[in-house]
Amino acid sequence: MDGLGEDDQRRIRSEAETVEEPDAVAQTIDSEVEADEEAPSVFSAWALPVGLFLLTCFTTLWAGAYQSYSGTARGPLNFLLEHPEALWRGLPFAAALLFILATHEFGHYLLSRIHGVPASLPLFIPGPPHFIGTFGAIIRMRGPIMDRRALFDIGVAGPLAGFIVAVVVLIVGLNLSTVVERTAAFGLHLGEPLLLQFLAWLVIGPISPESDIVLHPIAFAAWFGFFVTSLNLLPIGQLDGGHVAYALWGGRQRTMAFIAVPILIVLGFAGWPGWFLWAVMAGLWGLGHPPVSDPHAPLGRNRKIVGWIALAVFVSTFAPVPFSFHS
């Protein structure tokens, strides 16, 4: 059987290259389109985070001012309309609270950048000024967390960073707080996590059973920072605690979540009904954590130590009954 001549071979190779080139061009175009689709818009990357942050600055300032107002305004809206000049009184609370929340979220953000995981700037969520003026803040991951070590670092960085700032803020706030007779303390009472009790004893000193501490707005912001930290460290699904527990113990995180939810339900019956809502939300989010592509990457001794520190932070900041009302 005769072979092809040199001219025929050159012609066939030329035709083959011509056929292959459109596929290469198409792949290049497809990758450019995907990159354009993944790249956030200016609104999503900058305008939305900045706008939400400024709005949350206003609502937390409003909430802080309304908390400190001792007049007879009927609700926060009437307070704002009748006494707009009093807004500045909310600055200590708003500044302390936003500092804690921002530190928490930027802990996630910076570790995401270090590990090459695309993430949005923190998105603050404004809320009604009747209580604290915000529902907290989140960051949006624009890509999967593929590595077990990255999952651990990103998950644990936020709670620990926010916790450290909250401790400093609490010490400052306790120095500005006042001790009153328990009979004079009515309305909303805040739960006392173990670390708050210790720091109050350290800063203020022992107080009699008939006395109570009225937290300065700065100390109240720190208390809320503890509350947020403990909630985020619950070992459930996509919460920070879920990330950390899955990175440390893998599939056993799901078992921990199944144990945590009934405990929240019991606490809802025994103390604060808000735990019912958290139990329902945990079910909606999903109790288990999605797998990562490299679940067997070793964390190393230092990360495991940090994981146990995170557990200690959860225990020391968790209040079984965070809110109660006394008349």
The verdict on residue 96 lying in a domain is yes
The verdict on residue 26 lying in a domain is no
What pLDDT shows up at residue 14?
Answer: 45
**pLDDT bracket for residue 327 (50, 70, 90):** low
What pLDDT shows up at residue 2?
Answer: 43
CB burial string 152-178: b at 16+ within 10 A, e below: bbbbbbbbbbbbebbbebbeebbeebe
- The candidate with the shortest Cα–Cα distance to 134, out of 88, 95, 177, 79, is 95
What pLDDT shows up at residue 243?
Answer: 96
The verdict on residue 16 lying in a domain is no
The verdict on residue 250 lying in a domain is yes
To the nearest 10 degrees (0 to 180), the angle between helices 252-270 and 274-285 is 160
The structural domain count of the chain equals 1
Average pLDDT over residues 294-301: 89
Residue 9 has pLDDT above 50, yes or no: no
pLDDT digits (tens, 9 = 90+) for 119-158: 999 999 999 999 999 999 999 998 888 889 999 999 999 9
Q: What's the chain's average pLDDT?
A: 88
Q: Are 162 and 136 in contact (CB under 8 A)?
A: no
Q: Are 201 and 209 in contact (CB under 8 A)?
A: no
The verdict on residue 245 lying in a domain is yes
What pLDDT shows up at residue 40?
Answer: 85
Least confident of 15-19, 77-81, 296-300: 15-19
Q: Are 295 and 250 in contact (CB under 8 A)?
A: yes
The verdict on residue 17 lying in a domain is no
What pLDDT shows up at residue 265?
Answer: 97
The verdict on residue 25 lying in a domain is no
What pLDDT shows up at residue 144?
Answer: 86
To the nearest 10 degrees (0 to 180), the angle between helices 148-176 and 217-232 is 160
What pLDDT shows up at residue 182?
Answer: 80
CA 112 to chain centre: 14
Residue 33 has pLDDT above 90, yes or no: no
Phi-psi region of 133 (alpha: psi -120 to 50; beta: other; left: phi over 0): left
What pLDDT shows up at residue 210?
Answer: 87
What pLDDT shows up at residue 38?
Answer: 63
Least confident of 19-28, 154-163, 249-258: 19-28
To the nearest 10 degrees (0 to 180), the angle between helices 217-232 and 300-317 is 130
Eight-class DSSP state of 4: P
Average pLDDT over residues 24-45: 55
The verdict on residue 297 lying in a domain is yes
What pLDDT shows up at residue 39?
Answer: 76
Average pLDDT over residues 60-78: 91
What pLDDT shows up at residue 29?
Answer: 33
Looking at residue 110, its amino acid is L
pLDDT digits (tens, 9 = 90+) for 78-127: 999 999 999 999 999 999 999 999 999 999 999 999 999 999 999 999 99
State which residues form the domain around 187: 40-326
pTM assigned to the model = 0.87
Least confident of 33-47, 152-166, 260-274, 309-323: 33-47
